[in-house]
Amino acid sequence: MDKLFDAVDKVLFTDRPEAVPYNYRISYKVAQLCLILAKCCGRGGCSILKLHMIALALASEDDMKMLIDFANNIIYEYTLIRFDPAVNRAVNYALADRMFTQQANGLYRLTAKGKNFVREIDKDTDMMAREKNLLNRLSNKLTEAKIKDLMSTWRYANASNQ
């Protein structure tokens, strides 16, 4: 696996004997997060919450449709947010491997190495085709401002006068 991110001209996914679901494998998660940063985050970067929201939505077509509808103001309530430890591990791994970096404002951005990695994934039309299609449909429609408004709504809805 250490050679996965050193490859410049090809992307390698190594079969492992352990029965680990693909979506919990570090190589898949790092690739997924790099695609999210490349296809759904603007030049300003992407928050950890946005990474979690999109990674979770990628689990099913219905979840992604709901997120896209929320981003397009078709639905106004969105409650499907979970914090996946696999995302946090992949973020730490990608930071250590310099695939992306965390800016002073806390947002994450792809580095040149991460951008090259995404280009290699994009070259193979079959590799992560489902994820690429869904992320292209979402694009930059889910803004950090929209996520911030959602978080504010949750805070006020769950506040009580005790």
pLDDT tens for 62-72 read 999 999 999 99
Residue 6 lies in a domain: no
Full residue range of the structural domain in which residue 74 is found: 22-157
Whole-number pLDDT of residue 102: 97
Residue 46 lies in a domain: yes
pLDDT at 120 over 70: yes
Dihedral angle over CA of 9, 93, 44, 62, nearest 10: 90
Give the CATH number of the domain where residue 45 resides: 1.10.10
Residue 78 lies in a domain: yes
Contact 58, 64 (CB under 8 A): yes
Contact 114, 37 (CB under 8 A): yes
Tally of domains within the chain: 1
User: Is the pTM for the entire model greater than 0.85?
Assistant: no
Residue 4 lies in a domain: no
Neighbour-count burial of 48, counting CB atoms closer than 10 A to its CB (0-12 exposed, 13-18 middle, 19+ buried): middle
Residue 11 lies in a domain: no
